[in-house]
Amino acid sequence: MRILITGGAGFLGSHLCDRLIAQGHDVIVLDNLFTGRKENISHLFSNPRFEFVRHDVIDPFKFEVDQIYNLACPASPPHYQYNPIKTTKTSVMGAINCLGLAKRLKARVFQASTSEVYGDPEVHPQREDYWGHVNPIGKRSCYDEGKRCAETLFFDYHRENKVDIRVIRIFNTYGPRMLPNDGRVVSNFIVQAIKGEDITVYGDGQQTRSFCYVDDLVEGFIRFMNQNEFVGPLNCGNPGEFTMLELAETVLKLVGGRSKIVHKELPSDDPKQRQPDITLAKKYLDGWTPQVPLEVGLERTIAYFRTQVG
């Protein structure tokens, strides 16, 4: 197949490129390189099955493809809060442009949504039928509500225009090619430990997250895109739950050094709990479950960051 990946030079997108090209597909990456990096995909430039186009998903585009993966959007708080209006436009107008193309081509289109659509959840773990507890006017709202609106658009195009959609909700994912400065907890802790700086834990450190290694997530993407039973939304992540303090201590143990754990004030609208219910993923993705244990994935991620952080 010919497959378009918007945001394909980013952390997740570049790993998806590797997998799809290894499977024999032709891949076109569309990316404006705001948070994506050419280094993530440079090893593919000489591959005849690969094409890179520098373009902003907000602006219309045309390609002849069989499938579209819409991954375009900054996904870490410092990056999506840097230009919040642009973040909302990327989610909403990017979705409209991908859906319009899919409608014209009769192509299947995939939306990378997020666990942030659940906000600071009052239900734990989070199931796909939970509508969420989201602040619509906070600093994180540009991302949370942008992704919620994108989901709305996908399902309206599906109902009104019979567009063949797949909507996935991604929970915390980590691995090589994360940006060292992306402000996410795994990269923050690893970079601070490698540099010998204090490891910053916000609040009391008892808030929880569930961490999925990137290879497991990409496997879920491809299985979801290529099954015909369910359009979504579908949670994709690792249900193993860890407190921020446990994660900090694990990173310290693996990196070594003399970093200390220090506590700072909790940011506004920071969710206290985040854990996916992956019952539907197991059902529709041929028994898919994450395979990479946290310590194994962290070791691989730490090895990558040692090449990035001086």
Tell me the catalytic residues.
Answer: 143
Task: Please count the other Cβ atoms lying within 10 Å of the Cβ belonging to residue 61.
Answer: 17
E strands in 48-138? 50-54, 67-70, 108-114
Strand partners, 254: none
Cβ–Cβ under 8 Å, residues 147 and 74: no
Angle, CA of 196, 198 and 203, to the nearest 5°: 155
Quote the CA–CA distance of 202 and 270 in Å, as a whole number. Answer: 10
Closest CA to 207 of 271, 259, 260, 257: 271
Q: In 3D, which of 290, 156, 287, 289 has the Cα closest to residue 231?
A: 156
Contact 177, 13 (CB under 8 A): no
Helix (H) or strand (E) segment spanning residue 3:
strand 2-6
Q: CB neighbours (10 Å) of residue 268?
A: 9
CA angle 224, 229, 233 (to 5 degrees): 55
Angle of helix 244-255 relative to helix 185-194, nearest 10 degrees? 30
Cα gap 194→306, rounded to integer Å: 7
Q: Prior bond to 180 cis, omega within 30?
A: no
- Cα 135 to Cα 144, 148, 165, 206: the distances in Å are 8, 12, 27, 22
DSSP 128: T
The residue written with tokens 């529709």 in the block is: 284
